[in-house]
């Protein structure tokens, strides 16, 4: 009985290691960040991450084998997506360890969080209430393709690169809440900084669309 547990432990640790290994590459993390926004085909993912097609395909397959992704065929496209919301938890856990224990990350984060209180994010709960009350403008600063895969209902899509030239689209009367891909997507930080510089009252939403969706909150298409 206890002899058998030797092998069991080994099997579990080996399986766990395969999952961690599948997440343990910068390119694969980038791919997952994009996949968290919604289903995408290989070519689109390769383009957006700047990877060679075959290379992207191999990374995606290795993550699929490990159980991080699932794939389905649609016509001549292979559409990949995150296997599960638990994959988001994994990414969150890694991020939390990084922000508290990795020097490089602490530095980057603090350079974006320099106005500590001011950058304090709006919670999903709070945003939901203020949306109902109509006291806030929601701004989605991701690229249009990602916006198209799902966004916070009523949000305005202005990719961060277009923000300066499209300030006129945004009402000055209400506070603006900006969001993007996730807790470590810098677009929302940059957007808030730019908006404030232009005299707007702006804050960012905690995390991004993937967490909003995983929380069971409504998503518009």
Partner DNA sequence: CCAACAATCAAGCGAACGATAGAATGATAG
Partner DNA sequence: CTATCATTCTATCGTTCGCTTGATTGTTGG
Tokens describing residue 207? 């995390």
Distance CA 182, CA 29 (A): 12
Strand partners, 81: 70
3-state secondary structure at position 2:
helix
* Binding piece for its own copies, criterion CB under 8 A, among 40-48, 128-136, 170-178, 189-197: 189-197
Under the criterion CB under 8 A, does residue 71 sit at the interface with its own copies? no
Cβ nearer to DNA, comparing 78 with 99: 78
- Contact range with its own copies by CB under 8 A, out of 99-107, 132-140, 171-179, 202-210: 99-107
Q: Which residues have a catalytic role annotated?
A: 180
Output the six-digit token pair for 6: 């030797």
Contacts with 50 (C-beta within 8 Å, 6 or more apart), sequence order: none
| Selection from 221, 126, 218 nearest residue 177 by Cα | 126
What's the number of CA atoms in the CB half-sphere (13 Å) around residue 184?
20
First-to-last C-alpha distance (Å) of the chain: 54
State the binding partner of 83 from DNA, its own copies, none, CB within 5 to 8 A by kind: its own copies
Can you tell me the distance from the alpha carbon of 43 to that of 47, in angstroms, rounded to the nearest whole number?
6
**For its own copies, which residue of 47, 72, 89, 110 counts as binding (CB under 8 A)?**
89
Q: Per-residue contact track with DNA, 76 to 115, x per CB under 7 A?
A: xxxx------------------------------------
Candidates 19, 62, 81, 162: give the one binding DNA (CB under 7 A).
62
Q: 117-156 mask for its own copies (x: CB under 8 A)? A: ----------------------------------------
Among 29, 39, 57, 106, binds DNA (CB under 7 A): 57
20 near its own copies, judged by CB under 8 A: yes
* 162 exposure class (CB count in 10 Å sphere: 0-12, 13-18, 19+): middle
Determine, following the binding rule CB under 8 A, whether residue 212 of this chain makes contact with its own copies.
no
| Interaction site with DNA (CB under 7 A) | 21, 24-25, 27, 41-44, 51-55, 57-62, 71, 73, 75-79
């Amino acid at each position: 009985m206890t002899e058998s547990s030797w092998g069991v432990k080994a099997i579990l640790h080996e399986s766990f290691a395969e999952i961690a290994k599948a997440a343990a590459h910068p390119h694969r993390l980038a791919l997952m960040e994009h996949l968290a926004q919604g289903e995408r085909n290989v070519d689109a993912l390769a383009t957006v991450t700047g990877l060679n097609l075959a290379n992207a395909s191999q990374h995606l397959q290795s993550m699929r084998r490990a159980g991080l992704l699932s794939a389905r065929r649609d016509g001549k496209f292979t559409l990949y997506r995150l296997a599960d919301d638990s994959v988001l938890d994994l990414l969150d856990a890694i991020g939390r360890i990084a922000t508290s224990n990795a020097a490089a990350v602490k530095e980057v984060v603090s350079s974006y969080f320099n106005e500590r209180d001011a950058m304090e994010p709006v919670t999903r709960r709070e945003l939901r209430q203020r949306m109902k009350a109509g006291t806030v403008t929601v701004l989605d600063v991701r690229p249009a393709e990602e916006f198209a895969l799902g966004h916070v209902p009523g949000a305005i899509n202005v990719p961060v690169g277009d923000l300066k030239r499209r300030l006129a689209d945004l009402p000055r009367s209400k506070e603006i809440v900006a969001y993007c891909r996730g807790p470590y997507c810098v677009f929302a930080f940059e957007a808030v900084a730019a908006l404030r510089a232009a005299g707007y009252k702006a804050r960012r939403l905690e995390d991004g669309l993937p967490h909003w969706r995983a929380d069971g909150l409504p998503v518009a298409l």
